[in-house]
Amino acid sequence: MAQAENFTFVVSNTDVGMRLDTYLSQRVFELTRSQIKKLVQEHLILFNHLPSKPAVRLREGDVITGSIPSPRKLDVSPQDIPLDILFEDPWIIVVNKPAGMVVHPGAGIDSGTLVNALLFHCRDLSQINGVIRPGIVHRLDKNTSGVMVAAKNATAHHHLSSQFKTRQIGKRYIALVHGEMRELEGIIEAPLGRHPKERKRISIHTRKGRSATTQWRVIERFKGFSLLEVIPKTGRTHQIRAHLSSRGHPIVGDPEYRRGRWIESIRNPQTRDRIRALKRQALHSERLGFIHPRSEEFMEFNAPLPDDMAGIIQFLFRRNEEQHSEGKEGR
């Protein structure tokens, strides 16, 4: 966008009573709702030619005018960081993010992120999320590995963002948790918000929680552990980690949500050493499915378990087999 884009809307009777920011989010696809709110507050969007508030309610005949500023020059540097690319075309790029990689720059982090790598590889990413998060439509925690999709243009960004917002995206995670799940499957429905005392953590014990639903199924039970398939129905921050921890089954290797002496309680020294050597939470985004923004075809991508998680899981499977064999011999 070389110059600022201007727009004008006149409210019809079918939109009476709608919030200003909601109305615009359905018409100005280049902007997210948070960006619209910011432009209203900066008086770049006017309501009946006067400054207003994002929550103002519309009446028939109201006039809304605005200006979308041209994007600022990127202040994030491209970096030649290897990427495990699962798919790429002019609209999107799908990658297998490794554990330990931050998705985008933030406080104290301005290099080594997925965005730095994408800028070097693609050169053309959607600017909807600004100069810090170009192309990013969803995130994985730093120490969660697996499939991610990024948008290369505004149309793709809006299309994918809408799918995430309306929960059309298919997501499947693999998680190794402490403890043996009693049931074979279940659903956790508990609102999530910031922990009242520890701001880095998300908790079900919060005053302003947002609805969150996580579906899980046991793949295998081990002595002291469970391997789970996890399908988040919503996309809240730290959702899987916080939900499983709230049920007494924190993810193995998770420093934020695995409180207590979990590792010290593991009796087998080999198992204990392997768990201690894991430098991140044992959570992997194995599968991601969505509708392609151009072809409108459903696409699904899979990322195999990384070596660190696969090694621990294979070890636990062998331990299961050995214990089963010992049980047979003792009969």
Task: Determine phi and psi for 88, rounding to 5 degrees.
Answer: -155, 140
Is 80 an active-site residue?
no
Distance between CA atoms of residues 288 and 290, nearest Å: 7
C-alpha of 162 from chain center: 14
Distance between CA atoms of residues 255 and 275, nearest Å: 12
Task: Determine phi and psi for 190, rounding to 5 degrees.
Answer: -155, 125
Radius of gyration of the chain (CA): 23
Q: Angle between the 307-329 and 269-277 helix axes, to the nearest 10 degrees? A: 170
Distance between CA atoms of residues 177 and 266, nearest Å: 13
Distance between CA atoms of residues 303 and 97, nearest Å: 9
Token pair for 127: 């600017």
C-alpha of 307 from chain center: 22
What angle (nearest 5°) sits at the alpha carbon of residue 293, between those of residues 290 and 298?
Answer: 35
Distance between CA atoms of residues 301 and 172, nearest Å: 10
Provide DSSP, 196-253.
Answer: SS-TTSEESS-TT-B--EEEEEEEEEETTEEEEEEEESS--TTHHHHHHHHTT-PBTT
Q: Check 21, 62, 141, 308 and give the catalytic one.
A: 141
Distance between CA atoms of residues 175 and 227, nearest Å: 6
Amino acid identity for residue 19 in this structure:
R
- Residues marked active site are found at 141
